[in-house]
């Protein structure tokens, strides 16, 4: 199937003990490396001890270890020599920096009290300034900004590498805010109370030490805090399982416990959620207790200040309160009051019916069901307003905007006009005024920011970003590939309109395929400038494991079914080749974080299919990932390799263990950050080291500053993108 959208002027790896030869075997959907002998570093047994015994690079898991940092220094020297001396590097860096620090970008804003707040980075303020303006001023071509907090000046004054990680302000006035500051870009933050009226930190105010906190305002003098309260208060993943009420002036040791999970809990730690009405009055206090990456219990604080469990599904997304109703979306099929609900639907049910002591009232299905997606639709973004619900619906991976209102006979849906064939996302909302920021963008269409009035459905454009590359010669198309099990896998291709189908087109393919994350059409200005303008083609694959078609699309590739995501990605690559768009010589792949699992497995299972792989901030050693922080929080996604049955299926794809010296792999580029406290740098280091041990040409670069998000410094980020595209040009164009 092919649909023109925009125009502008497994087979598992087989492990058997016999002869040592390794060969590439191809079928209609995928190619996997098969061998009659185990790779030389494959564990003799799959127990944690056996896996560790077979690992000759455990020292590289020590983040700041002497051996590890010596390895990084030498690898960086070689990779910078190969990339930054290329004649394309400096033009790429300059172009990327001009884009990332441009002052004509749309300032992203959120409602802040009576005005709008914005965090802004540019060449003059690489660390950024937190500032505000009025809505009327923002509507003008040159808004008048008032600086609230200058992060560059703060970092200089305090001698810290502060990175702004957002704010949380107490409603409804939003004059008291909690500022999250990361030292160097890590996920862990220090939290300090800030007064927007005096534009200063509050003397004697709330000040929490560095940690991976979960915090909500309860009232002006009380926070609900989940954090590290000392020995024995953190899970194996390094996240909190205790929530306490912290009063102004108290130390963490003096805070009062209000909820406790268990130390063996999985996921990302307990979280408090304070539900307020449009006037800021507390309606409910909820606690989420993760059981694993995706399953959780939802508890509420009773009138007696004791928690009780709600009768919600364990896979659920809680969206907010609409009057006396809790709005939520189950991510699994669920039965309530004798009615069946499908995973991915949007529901609104009176809060008092969800408690264990609920009244004996049967709630009608038509009153509870707000929205039910079709097979190729999914719920992507939700805002609960004062008089209804606004939601973005993905329809075959492009966005639609819908307004839901409750009537006597159930819920009615009204479509709100947005541009066709675009990604649609919701920003900050004001329940008191009924306004929501809405942004749209496409692969060749720069972002536009609008303001939608929920009550009238009227949408007013506020800002439109200028084009950052010449898209006049390109088109976007959507195709489908057929995966190994017959499933149709959609993908987008952005290409020159006059492209020849001769298999010589340099093509980079992006994939993710995990954690129910959807890859939607997005304007990537650095990609357009550094890649498309130079003759490259960009492909975005919507493989299983993502959320493009709801929770079922995600859960189809969980745990023992992970091979489906790899098969899907390979199927898209083969479909591109079958159409004459590219060839293995000119096909590269890019993935980061969970996408690093995808790309590392892709080159080990299909080494003949690709000639380049950017493997960034990756998970790779899937046999030891729970041993490296914060890996144990992802067991719900991948399984637990410390359990024999799980180790069996994980071992069939874990790229670190399956590397072979007798297989020719594409020259990969592996890159990460030393201070990444979300995905441990040991994954990338060890994979690069083993490639080197086996004599495989590769590049490894580790930035010694910045964290997983690459949001610390746009100037450094420009260097990052320049390295990426120099490498891709070398592999796919030269």
Query: Which is it for strands 242-247 and 176-183: parallel, antiparallel or unpaired?
Result: unpaired
Return the number of other C-beta atoms located less than 10 Å from residue 608's C-beta. Answer: 15
Chain centroid to CA 571: how far?
24
Nearest to 270 by CA among 290, 300, 255, 246: 290
The reply to whether 137 belongs to the active site is: no
What pLDDT was estimated at residue 710? 74
At 2, the pLDDT band (50, 70, 90 cuts) reads very low
Q: Which two tokens stand for residue 528?
A: 């357009």
Query: Is 60 exceeded by the pLDDT of residue 26?
Result: no
What pLDDT was estimated at residue 489? 98
Chain centroid to CA 384: how far?
22
The string of pLDDT tens digits covering residues 179-225 is 999 999 999 999 999 999 999 999 999 999 999 999 999 999 999 99
The string of pLDDT tens digits covering residues 52-80 is 999 999 999 999 999 999 999 999 999 99
Q: What is the mean pLDDT of residues 651-673?
A: 98
Give the separation between CA 698 and CA 396, rounded to whole angstroms: 37
Give the separation between CA 285 and CA 299, rounded to whole angstroms: 8
What pLDDT was estimated at residue 360? 65
Q: Which two tokens stand for residue 254?
A: 């003096």
Find the helix packing angle between 714-732 and 89-100, rounded to 10°.
140
Q: What's the chain's Rg over C-alpha atoms?
A: 26
Return the number of other C-beta atoms located less than 10 Å from residue 552's C-beta. Answer: 18
pTM exceeding the 0.85 threshold for the entire prediction = yes
**Burial of 529 (C-beta count, 10 Å sphere; 0-12/13-18/19+):** buried
Chain centroid to CA 669: how far?
21
Q: What is the mean pLDDT of residues 717-725?
A: 97
Instruction: Provide the edge-to-edge strand list for the sheet that holds 109-112.
Output: 109-112, 115-120, 129-133, 146-150
3-state SS assignment for residue 149: strand
Residue 175: is the preceding peptide bond cis (ω within 30°)?
no
Phi and psi at residue 421, in whole multiples of 5°? Answer: 60, 40
The string of pLDDT tens digits covering residues 214-264 is 999 999 999 999 999 999 999 998 999 999 999 999 999 999 999 999 999
What are the DSSP calls for 73-112, one per residue? HHHHHHHHHHHTTSTTHHHHHHHHHHHHT-TTS---EEEE
Instruction: Write the DSSP symbol of residue 162.
Output: E
Q: Which two tokens stand for residue 598?
A: 């995808």
What pLDDT was estimated at residue 33? 52
Report how far apart, in Å, the C-alpha atoms of 700 and of each of 156, 222, 571 are: 31, 47, 28
Q: Could you say which of 79, 394, 593, 600 is catalytic?
A: 593
3-state SS assignment for residue 470: coil
The string of pLDDT tens digits covering residues 335-372 is 999 899 999 999 999 999 998 766 667 899 999 999 99
Length of the chain, please?
734
Contacts (Cβ under 8 Å, ≥6 apart) of 184 = 161, 163, 675, 705, 706, 707, 712
- At residue 675's C-alpha, the angle toward residues 673 and 680, to 5°, is 75
Query: Is 50 exceeded by the pLDDT of residue 25?
Result: no
Tell me the residue ranges of DSSP E strands in 422-576. Answer: 423-430, 435-441, 448-453, 459-464, 474-482, 488-496, 507-510, 537-541
Give the separation between CA 675 and CA 163, rounded to whole angstroms: 12
The reply to whether 339 belongs to the active site is: no
Q: What is the mean pLDDT of residues 699-709?
A: 89
Nearest to 703 by CA among 678, 731, 723, 730: 723
Please name the helix (run of DSSP H) or strand (run of DSSP E) that holds residue 244, with its range, or none: strand 242-247
35 vs 204: which has the higher pLDDT:
204
Q: Which two tokens stand for residue 668?
A: 């990969």
Give the separation between CA 617 and CA 125, rounded to whole angstroms: 26
Q: Which residue has the tokens 């590397």?
A: 659
Measured between alpha carbons, how far apart are the two ends of the chain, in Å?
A: 32
Give the separation between CA 89 and CA 724, rounded to whole angstroms: 10
Give the separation between CA 430 and CA 410, rounded to whole angstroms: 25
Q: Which two tokens stand for residue 34?
A: 């098969």
Query: Is 50 exceeded by the pLDDT of residue 21?
Result: no
3-state SS assignment for residue 76: helix
Q: Which two tokens stand for residue 301?
A: 């604080």
Q: What is the mean pLDDT of residues 8-29?
A: 34
What are the DSSP calls for 619-670, one per residue? ---TTTGGGSTTGGGGHHHH--TTSHHHHHHHTTT-HHHH--TTS----EEE
Chain centroid to CA 652: how far?
26
Q: Which residues of 210-243 are buried (b: 16+ CB within 10 A; e: fewer)?
A: ebbbbbbbbeeebbbbbbbbeeebbbbbbbbbbb
The string of pLDDT tens digits covering residues 408-432 is 999 999 999 999 999 999 999 999 9
Q: Which two tokens stand for residue 177?
A: 């805010």
- Mean pLDDT of all residues belonging to the chain: 93
Q: What is the mean pLDDT of residues 594-606?
A: 98
- Percent over 90 (pLDDT), the chain: 91
The string of pLDDT tens digits covering residues 132-155 is 999 999 999 999 999 999 999 999
Tell me the residue ranges of DSSP E strands in 674-729. Answer: 698-703
Phi and psi at residue 563, in whole multiples of 5°? Answer: -60, -25
What pLDDT was estimated at residue 358? 67
3-state SS assignment for residue 109: strand
3-state SS assignment for residue 592: strand
3-state SS assignment for residue 481: strand
Give the separation between CA 380 and CA 393, rounded to whole angstroms: 6
Query: Which is it for strands 189-195 and 129-133: parallel, antiparallel or unpaired?
Result: unpaired
**Burial of 260 (C-beta count, 10 Å sphere; 0-12/13-18/19+):** middle
Query: Is 90 exceeded by the pLDDT of residue 280?
Result: yes
Return the number of other C-beta atoms located less than 10 Å from residue 254's C-beta. Answer: 10
Alpha helices in 125-224 (DSSP H): 135-138, 151-158
Q: What is the mean pLDDT of residues 677-704?
A: 97
Q: Could you say which of 57, 698, 708, 724 is catalytic?
A: 708
Give the separation between CA 289 and CA 70, rounded to whole angstroms: 41
Query: Which is it for strands 668-673 and 698-703: parallel, antiparallel or unpaired?
Result: parallel
The string of pLDDT tens digits covering residues 467-511 is 999 999 999 999 999 999 999 999 999 999 999 999 999 999 999
Q: Which two tokens stand for residue 131?
A: 């500032």
Does residue 167 contact residue 175 with C-beta atoms inside 8 Å? Answer: no
């Amino acid at each position: 199937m092919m649909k023109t959208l925009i125009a502008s002027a497994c087979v598992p790896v087989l492990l058997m003990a016999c002869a040592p030869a390794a060969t590439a075997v191809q079928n209609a959907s995928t190619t996997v490396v098969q061998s009659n002998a185990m790779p030389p570093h494959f564990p003799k047994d799959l127990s944690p001890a056996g896996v560790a015994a077979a690992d000759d690079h455990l020292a590289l898991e020590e983040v700041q270890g002497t051996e590890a940092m010596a390895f990084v220094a030498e690898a960086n020297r070689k990779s910078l020599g190969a990339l930054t001396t290329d004649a394309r590097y400096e033009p790429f860096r300059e172009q990327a920096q001009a884009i990332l620090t441009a002052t004509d970008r749309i300032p992203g804003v959120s409602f802040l009290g009576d005005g709008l707040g914005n965090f802004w980075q540019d060449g003059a303020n690489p660390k950024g300034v937190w500032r505000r303006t009025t809505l009327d001023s923002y509507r003008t071509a040159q808004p008048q900004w008032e600086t609230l907090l200058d992060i560059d000046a703060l970092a200089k004054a305090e001698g810290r590498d502060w990175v702004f990680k957002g704010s949380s302000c107490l409603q409804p006035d939003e004059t008291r805010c909690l500022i999250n500051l990361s030292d160097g870009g890590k996920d862990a933050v220090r939290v300090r109370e800030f007064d927007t009226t005096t534009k200063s930190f509050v003397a004697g105010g709330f000040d929490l030490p560095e940690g991976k906190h979960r915090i909500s305002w309860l009232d002006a003098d009380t926070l609900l805090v989940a954090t590290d309260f000392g020995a024995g208060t953190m899970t194996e993943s390094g996240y909190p399982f205790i929530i306490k009420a912290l009063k102004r002036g108290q130390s963490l040791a003096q805070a009062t416990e209000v909820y406790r999970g268990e130390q063996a809990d999985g996921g990302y730690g307990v979280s408090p959620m304070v539900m307020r009405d449009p006037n800021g009055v507390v309606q409910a206090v909820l606690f989420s207790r993760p059981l694993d990456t995706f399953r959780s219990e939802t508890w509420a604080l009773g009138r007696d200040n004791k928690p009780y469990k709600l009768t919600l599904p364990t896979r659920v997304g809680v969206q907010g309160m609409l009057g006396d109703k809790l709005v939520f979306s189950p991510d699994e099929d669920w039965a309530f009051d004798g009615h069946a609900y499908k995973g991915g639907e949007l529901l609104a049910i009176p809060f008092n019916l969800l408690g264990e002591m609920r009244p004996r009232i049967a709630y009608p299905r038509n009153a509870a069901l707000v929205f039910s997606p079709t097979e190729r639709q999914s719920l992507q973004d939700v805002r609960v307003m004062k008089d209804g619900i606004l939601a973005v619906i993905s329809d075959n991976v492009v966005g639609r905007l819908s307004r839901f209102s409750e009537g006597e006979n159930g819920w009615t849906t009204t479509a709100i006009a947005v541009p066709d064939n675009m990604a649609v996302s919701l920003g900050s909302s004001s329940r008191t005024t009924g306004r929501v920021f809405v942004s749209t963008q496409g692969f060749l269409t720069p972002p536009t920011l609008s303001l939608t009035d929920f009550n009238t459905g009227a949408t007013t454009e506020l800002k439109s970003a200028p084009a950052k590359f010449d898209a006049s010669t390109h088109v976007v198309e959507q195709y489908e590939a057929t995966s190994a099990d017959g499933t149709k896998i959609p993908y987008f291709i952005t290409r020159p309109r006059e492209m020849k189908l001769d298999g010589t087109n340099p093509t980079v393919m992006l994939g993710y395929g995990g954690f129910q994350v959807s890859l939607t059409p997005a304007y990537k200005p650095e990609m357009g400038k550094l890649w498309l303008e130079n003759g490259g083609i960009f492909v975005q694959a919507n493989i299983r494991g993502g959320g493009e078609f709801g929770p079922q699309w995600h859960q189809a590739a969980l745990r023992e079914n992970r091979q489906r995501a790899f098969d899907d990605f390979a199927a898209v690559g083969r479909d591109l080749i079958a159409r004459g768009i590219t060839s293995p010589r000119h096909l590269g792949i890019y993935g980061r974080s969970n996408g690093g699992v995808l790309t590392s497995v892709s080159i080990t299972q299909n080494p003949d299919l690709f000639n380049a792989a950017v493997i960034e901030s990756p998970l790779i050693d899937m046999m030891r990932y729970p041993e490296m922080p914060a890996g144990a929080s992802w067991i719900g996604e991948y399984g637990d390799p410390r359990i024999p049955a799980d180790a069996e299926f994980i071992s069939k794809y874990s790229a670190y263990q399956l590397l072979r010296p007798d297989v020719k792999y594409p020259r990969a580029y592996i890159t990460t950050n030393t201070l990444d406290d979300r995905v441990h740098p040991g994954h990338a280091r060890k994979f690069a080291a083993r490639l080197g041990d086996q004599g495989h040409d590769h590049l490894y670069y580790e930035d010694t500053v910045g964290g997983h998000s690459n949001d610390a410094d746009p100037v450094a980020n420009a260097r990052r993108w320049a390295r990426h595209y120099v490498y891709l040009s070398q592999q796919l164009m030269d």
